[in-house]
Amino acid sequence: MLKTVFAAAAMIAMPVMAEARVEVLGPDAAACQPGAGKTAVLVTVDGFKNRDGTVRVELWPGVEGDFLRDHHQLVAEGKAYHRVTVPVPANGPAKVCVPLPGPGTYALGAFHSPAGVRKFNVRQDGATFTRNPRVGLSKPKAADVAVTYSEGLNTEIVTLNYLRGLAFRPIPRQDIETADKR
């Protein structure tokens, strides 16, 4: 009898536990699993204004002159650059795994494109960077977003900003919760 009660309780709890678990996204998701032995950063991107399109996380060297520089030039010079683009999850934050070339100082940016395109649309797309700086119409300085990462698994939490009036700001929490329920 007691085994039956525990079995029934386990079956009821299993779907709840599965819903609570957030999937790590990206082609290098395995690098962000415990014990993977890789140097990576698990970026939690929150604050989506809707669930359309894609979220893109990009990694640059965390120094002025290389931060936000054309990725073709960075790669040609053997400098750090990596891009991960994934669909926006149906609910909750996006947890995106970004492999790092090794310990060091880097800057990460996260961009939400409801249209799913790579070219940034200032009127519709969301953007943020590591250390969640105040985002304006001009790019932030590398010193304001650079983070030094260690060997192994590192974590970051960033909140998207969207054009609201004449400034980029996060979407109010109640508006996000309403969008998640649609």
Inter-CA distances, 25 with 41, 61, 127, Å: 12, 22, 18
pTM value is 0.83
Per the rule left: phi > 0, alpha: psi between -120 and 50, beta: everything else, 108 is beta
% pLDDT > 90, the chain: 70
Burial class (CB in 10 A: 0-12, 13-18, 19+), 131: middle
- For 66-85, write each residue's pLDDT tens digit: 999 999 999 999 999 999 99
More confident residue, 149 or 119: 149
Structural domain spans, the chain: 23-180
For range 83-105, the mean pLDDT: 97
- pLDDT at residue 7, rounded to an integer: 45
> Among 60-74, 88-102, 111-125, 160-174, where is mean pLDDT lowest?
160-174
CATH class for the domain made up of 23-180: mainly beta
Inform me whether the pLDDT recorded for 19 exceeds 50: no
